Amino acid sequence: MSVGGQIEQSRFVVRFVVRFVLRHVGGVMVNPAAPRDMRAFADGSINIELWRQLGIRLGASVLHDTVVPEGIRPTDVRLTTGIAWTRPARKDASDHD
């Protein structure tokens, strides 16, 4: 059992020459039975729109545990890249008169 909460979650859209979508989220979890047993994480990504629905996504994830087995590093960092596809917005039935 752990107690924790999400620190921050947000989404920013920036239109320059191409459209950028920035996302980030983070959190901390604490074991109430052993307060020194904590886990913290932070994730972030940027989506660079190449065309209207297709883009490239770059992401980073950091996870830190204060209690880990011997020989295991307490901090894990992962970097990812990929293709991002966004489905077009659906027309709502109420839009049709």
Ranges of each domain in the chain: 3-86
Residue 47 burial (CB count, 10 A) = 20
Which residues are within 8 A (CB) of 65 and not within 5 positions of it... i.e. 6 or more apart?
Answer: 38, 39, 74
pLDDT tens digits for range 34-83:
888 999 999 999 888 888 788 999 999 999 999 888 999 999 999 999 99
pLDDT at 2 over 50: no
pLDDT of residue 24: 86
CA–CA dist 70, 90 (Å, integer): 52
List the single range of 9-13, 28-32, 44-48 with lowest mean pLDDT: 9-13
pLDDT of residue 56: 93
Structure tokens at 86: 């966004």
pTM metric for this prediction: 0.67
CA–CA dist 41, 87 (Å, integer): 29
